[in-house]
Structure 1
């Protein structure tokens, strides 16, 4: 595997982890329900896309930190994770 492909995959994993962490932190601080109850409610009531979008805010921080450290390929992976989150939101809104 080429070195830059490995760096993009690492960035993708960082972006996915940041998105999940952001979603969890939003639920932890702003939801009165437990994690499981909030996720079940989000699926039933159709606001799962909003939770994913709010979780993606941490991707912004990860992206700029990686750019500041001059890790361009990892930053590209974070952008790829954000695009995947956007596609997931799009799918959840229409299906």
Structure 2
């Protein structure tokens, strides 16, 4: 039961980050095409910053779960944020 709650939180964290990346790319990008905006961000070297901006929505999901007393789901969102941070770090330096 606890693993299921953590997994739900992890999934919500990944989805929130994906939505945040999409919104950040659309607001900060100069193109209407999401894939083209990601390619340009990668070519110009600020894809990691774009992913980090997308993680702001994880903050909202984390505090919503805490407010609802769903601590294990909040733990899953935190885990997703850590995984995204580590993958961004590895992507930048590899």
**Bin of the TM-score, shorter chain as denominator length:** over 0.9
Q: Which runs of 5+ in 1 are unaligned?
A: none
Using the TM superposition, give the Cα deviation of residue 45 of structure 1 relative to its aligned residue in structure 2, in angstroms: 2.1
Q: Scaled by the length of structure 1, what TM-score is found? A: 0.93
Structure 1 residues 73 and 82: alpha-carbon distance in aligned structure 2, compared to 1, 3 A threshold = same
Post-superposition Cα deviations, 1:12-58, rounded to whole Å, max 9, x if no partner, equal 00000000000101112221112111111122222111111000000
Quick one: which of 6, 19, 22 aligns to 2:20?
Answer: 22
TM-score when scaled to structure 2? Answer: 0.94
In structure 1, how many angstroms separate the alpha carbons of the residues matched to 2:63 and 2:14? 15
- The reply to whether residue 42 of structure 1 matches residue 41 of structure 2 is yes
Q: In the alignment, which residue of structure 1 is the partner of 2:9?
A: 11
Moved segments of 4+, more than 6 Å: none
* Ranges in structure 2 where 5+ consecutive residues have no aligned partner: none
CA RMSD of aligned residues (A): 0.9
In structure 2, C-alpha distance between the alignment counterparts of 1:76 and 1:85, rounded to whole Å: 14
